[in-house]
Structure 1
Amino acid sequence: MTASNSDPALAVSADTVVTVEFWIMSTDGEALDDSGGPVSFLHRGLDSLLPRLDDGIEGQAAGFEQVFHLEPEDAFGDYDPELLRVEPRSRFPEPIEIGMQFEGVPDDEDADEADGEDEDGDNALIFSVTDLAEDKVVLDANHPYAGMALRVRIKVLAVRAADPEEIEQGYADEEDDSDDVLDAMIESRRGPGTLH
């Protein structure tokens, strides 16, 4: 079932699949990111938006559009300096570039503790390379928007009843699974100190 099966009279509530577009901006209006087109999710499911945005669209129907102001605690959390690491460059494969990402740190003896894994190895932190020196690599596991107040413009395009399978699994079945921004929001809530 896709957004074309939308019910124009249906409001966003539990057990509905919502299709939206959104744009993320700094508080001074600088464009930071966007959904890259329509994205669909089970409202308040595993693939849902940030709780503050979920609250903001609750009870609304297709056509609703609004800009929400999010403080860091409602967005991607406060910046945590303990998630910044400087490691020897010899631990990393070459070539290494700024922007590359690693789950944990290669050959780290304290990987489970340092990377936020539980005893099952779940929830390892994703580190991004933020700076390079001749013999050092600077890594940051904070979300790129951590510590930032944001404005998010969201437009509800469609609302439909969720299928029983979607309700059971906790997320919407949609044809396009390339929702990078939505995936980033989802991943950010799984880490410590996040907005979800």
Structure 2
Amino acid sequence: MKIAENKVVVMHYAVSDSEGTLIDSSYDHQPLAFVQGSGFLIPGLEQALNDRQVGDKFEVDVDAENAYGERHDGFVQTVPKAMFEGIDELAVGTQLRATTDEGEQTVIVIDVTDDEITVDGNHPLSGIDLSFDVEILEVRDATAEELATGQVATESCCDSSDQGSDCCSH
């Protein structure tokens, strides 16, 4: 069965930046399971999966625009520290939820002074071209519930008791 919209896909992946630095990998733990076409993945990777099938192993490069987008300097803002009264332990790297004109957004503290806090609303991987190593483990039709919720049922051949199946041997 080929990967297409509304199919459940179970896959392993490793993602690196353009310099080859490993950012994340599923190979040492549970594979990733999602409904193709639900917007769960970045657009460039989701598109590269179409028409693939179980057993396919491939590499794909995804430019920043089709990954987490370009960085926007306007998403970096310095605000008075007084705006964060009641929040303990404001340090570089702290993630906060902020209300913006476009709704709730996660921001990351990138600088702290005595009087001001600088936050960045860009995704940490924005502006970065990514490279993926992918191995397709399972492709199946999504259930009605999976299509309605966009969430994959937790039981798949890769995490069931059938550890001897082809899917789980990868």
Q: TM-score range by the shorter chain?
A: 0.7 to 0.9
Q: Name stretches of at least 5 consecutive residues in structure 1 with no aligned partner.
A: 1-9, 105-110, 118-123, 177-196
Give the deviation of 1:51 after TM superposition. 2.1
SS in 2 for 1:98: coil
Q: Which amino acid aligns with 1:82?
A: G
Alpha-carbon distance in structure 2 between the residues aligned to 1:86 and 1:17: 43
Q: Which amino acid aligns with 2:63?
A: E
> What's the CA shift string for 1:161-191, capped at 9, x where partnerless?
2112212333322269xxxxxxxxxxxxxxx
Indicate whether 1:72 and 2:54 are aligned. Answer: no
Runs (4+) off by over 6 Å: none
1:97 is matched with 91
> What's the CA shift string for 1:98-138, capped at 9, x where partnerless?
2211111xxxxxx542xx22xxxxxx111111121222211
Indicate whether 1:165 and 2:145 are aligned. Answer: yes
Over the matched positions of the two proteins, sequence identity in percent amounts to: 23
Indicate whether 1:153 and 2:133 are aligned. Answer: yes
Kindly indicate which of the two structures has a greater share of residues assigned to helix: 1
1:16 is matched with 7
Give the deviation of 1:30 after TM superposition. 0.8
TM-score by length of 1: 0.71
- Cα–Cα, structure 1 residues 130 and 34, in superposed 2: closer, same or farther, change >3 Å? farther
Question: Across the two proteins, how many residue pairs are aligned to each other?
Answer: 152
Alpha-carbon distance in structure 2 between the residues aligned to 1:175 and 1:86: 46
1:37 is matched with 30
Q: Name stretches of at least 5 consecutive residues in structure 2 with no aligned partner.
A: 157-170
Kindly indicate which of the two structures has a greater share of residues assigned to strand: 2
Give the deviation of 1:91 after TM superposition. 2.0
SS in 2 for 1:125: strand
1:180 is matched with none
Alpha-carbon distance in structure 1 between the residues aligned to 2:131 and 2:91: 30
Higher RCO, 1 vs 2 (CA within 8 Å, ≥6 residues apart): 1
> What's the CA shift string for 1:68-109, capped at 9, x where partnerless?
1111111111101111011122222122122211111xxxxx
